[in-house]
Amino acid sequence: MEQSDIPRAKPEPVKGAAHLLAAAKYSIGGVRRLWEETAFRHILIALPICLGGLALGEATITEFCVFIALIFMLVAVEALNTSIECIVDHLAPQWQEFARDAKDLGSLATMCVLIVNGIFLFSFVFRAFLAA
């Protein structure tokens, strides 16, 4: 049995200021786990490229803020998709239809947010570079 499969006692709830520190620790753990996903690393590679394009196109502060919000939404959905995949892989080590459906739906959610990001970037490129 792997060490991660050994049952442990549930930790006591943390309250007050310690709760904020614990939540930050859990979020950092989530980023570390998400780093293992190729899709997340692709997002981080695309981020400075897209920000550079926005800067070259003289984006407004509002456009920068919308883009950053869309990137955070994409990361959030990718994190949720990854969490679904982790749970499904644990519950169904062999192929099962519910597992395929859950993974496909998580992938669809990620694709929808990617499309929204693409629509935003296309509309910006059109306005900044093509509509003269």
- What is residue 109's predicted lDDT score, i.e. its pLDDT? 98
73-97 residue pLDDT tens:
999 999 999 999 999 999 999 999 9
- What is residue 10's predicted lDDT score, i.e. its pLDDT? 87
Query: pLDDT under 50 in the chain at which residues?
Result: 1
Query: How far is C-alpha 91 from the geometric centre of its chain's CA atoms?
Result: 22
SS3 41: helix
Distance CA 68, CA 15 (A): 31
Threshold 0.85, pTM exceeds? yes
**Dmax of the chain from CA atoms?**
64
- What is residue 3's predicted lDDT score, i.e. its pLDDT? 59
Phi-psi group of 2: left, alpha or beta (phi > 0 → left; psi -120 to 50 → alpha; rest → beta): beta
Q: What is the DSSP code (8-state) at residue 14?
A: P
Q: Which amino acid is at 15?
A: K
Domains of the chain: 16-130 (1.10.287.3610)
Q: Active-site residues: which are they?
A: 78
